Amino acid sequence: MAVVLSSNLLLDQYQEKLVTADEAVKIVKSGDWVQYGEFVMQPKELDTALARRVNELEDVKIRCVTITMIPEVVKADPERKHFRFNDWHFSGFSRALQAHNLCNYIPVTYHEAKKLIEDFVEIDVAFVLVAPMDANGYFNLGTSNSITSYVVEKAKKVVVEVNTSVPVCLGGNGESIHISQVDYIVESVQNQKLLNLPESPISDVDRKIANVVMGMMEDGCCLQLGIGAMPNVVGSMIAQSDLKNLGVHTEMLVDSFVDMHESGRVNGKMKTIDKGKMAYTFAMGTDKLYDFLHNNPVCASYPVHYTNDPFIIAQNDKVFAINNAIEVDLYSQVASEAVGPRQISGTGGQLDFIFAAFRSKGGKGLICLSSTTTLKDGTLVSRIRPTLSPGTIVTVPRTINYYVITEFGVALMKGRTTWQRAEELINIAHPDFRDELIKEAEKMNIWVRSNKKEA
């Protein structure tokens, strides 16, 4: 009888809080800070309804994490007179908006997000995409745990947009929000499927780099893969390898983790914490990944202050952190988020995991990049540079950089002098640029030809 009563009470609460999207967005006032859901969990119908209020509002500041579509509020306000849009981690859409001064980046060291939001960030209204409420009154946060649990705690008003396409992603912790924490409930009319990421084109160079990475892999290692073609190639190669007893403690869960698990490469037996579990903080991929996640107890969704805390990550042995970069200079500084003043992505968890991999017993932090890139005018340039492009942001400082990998091999940075680092990096640069890099290193007094004999 008590169970039935509890269910009736929940149903009553649900009906009391159920409104249309147009009714829900009326709680937004001029001057408010509004937080949208993250990654593929953007609230589409609330965004559209808020856009319809464009001429009623002034100075509404909106935050998101890696937009996966152009928000309707931006389309409705192309001169940015009413809505000011900001992103914690840039996507291609964010870059396009920034080019027209319609989006700003919010710098963040990902594992610090909890304290940052609790102590320094104002949130008046949160719009959160969720799975349908369960029998106990909980809405699952789906594929993006990340910072959402902090947002829900901090926001003065919380509106959930219920979408039946959202997979129920088990914790971990922080993966759900109770109806008692919700001010309004909006049921999606369209119930749009979550975005499926297009397959990244894979180059021969990506495969060569992945082969170098595979040569460093060991049984029992605990994996973190960054975003992009090359980490996905590594995942595919692992699935087809004879490696065994691998674990997963990652920031982002992608399709290749499904392949690794289903092939038997990943079982988590050697992990120290979350043994047997694939720990992650957000997921982006295709329906293959979302279907795999749904009610799957092998996957553990956590807030980012847990998954990305270097001191938590490093409790696992053999943490292998595999990430992309845009440029590395001869001082071994890594740029992975910007070229000059142009924001490409964000710091994300790269710094967290490279730092953690060094602390992990037997761990390796790998920064991977092709040795060259081709500019729009057809000019071939080296991605290992004397210094970073003017104005470029450093993502991983040289003191934390561990290994750098190109298609030409591996360069170890730890414990190396400035001239040794320069030499190691020149040795894995494209051969066409090595003499030029040597000359530049000599000009900067960090490497001279005679040192090659001493090494």
Which residues have a catalytic role annotated?
Answer: 251
Tokens 């129920």 identify what position? 168
Q: List, in order, residues 6 or more apart from 199 with CB less than 8 Å away.
A: none
Query: What are 95's two structure tokens?
Result: 């870059």
CB within 8 A of 296, min separation 6: which ones? Answer: 170
| Nearest partner of 112 among 359, 255, 309, judged by Cα | 309
Type of residue found at 259: D
**Contact present, 348 and 89 (Cβ < 8 Å):** yes
- Classify residue 396 by its DSSP letter: B
Q: Which amino acid is at 24?
A: A
Which residue matches tokens 């209204």?
Answer: 125
Cβ atoms of 188 and 161 within 8 Å: the answer is: yes
Neighbours of 334 (CB within 10 A): 27
Which residues, in sequence order, are bridge partners of residue 406?
409
Whose CA is closest to 345, among 65, 145, 112, 42?
Answer: 65
Instruction: Pick the closest to residue 127 from 196, 63, 83, 174 (CA basis).
Output: 63
Cα dist. 422→62, 334, 390, 446 in Å?
43, 13, 19, 7
Burial 253-288, CB ≥16 within 10 A → b, else e: bbbbbbbbbeeebbbbebbeebeebbbbbbbbbbee
**φ, ψ (nearest 5 deg) of residue 138:** -105, 135
